[in-house]
């Protein structure tokens, strides 16, 4: 994400532009697939953690809710 742009507001939709290195390492294959499936898709920005990482929320095709944390450089707001 361009550092000159304002950070997206929690509750808005954003797109995970690419999979951050190491994000799915060590996760169960079903969780890896669910996370890979949302790259390029709109997801909800739930908020930010204490380190400034974006908390993304999404529901996989099985209906399970997931939360992942990524650096702002890996998301873009939906205009």
According to the model, what pLDDT value does residue 79 have?
76
Cβ count near 36 (within 10 Å): 12
Sign of dihedral through CA atoms 30, 31, 34, 40? negative
Distances in whole angstroms, Cα of residue 69 to Cα of each of 2, 19: 18, 11
Residue 39: DSSP 8-state = B
Query: What's the pLDDT at 1?
Result: 47
Confidence at residue 4, expressed as pLDDT on a 0 to 100 scale? 59
Residue 65 has pLDDT above 60, yes or no: yes
pLDDT recorded at residue 33: 96
pLDDT tens sequence across 40-55: 999 999 999 999 999 9
List Cα–Cα distances, 39 to 4, 10, 43, 51, in angstroms. Answer: 23, 19, 9, 22
- Mean pLDDT score across all residues of the chain: 93
């Amino acid at each position: 994400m361009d550092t000159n742009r304002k950070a997206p507001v929690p509750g808005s939709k954003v797109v995970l532009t690419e999979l951050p290195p190491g994000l799915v390492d060590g996760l169960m294959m079903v969780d890896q697939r669910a996370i890979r499936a949302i790259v390029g898709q709109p997801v909800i920005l739930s908020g930010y953690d204490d380190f400034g990482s974006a908390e993304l929320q999404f529901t996989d095709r099985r209906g399970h809710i997931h939360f992942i944390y990524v650096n702002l450089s890996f998301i873009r707001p939906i205009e």
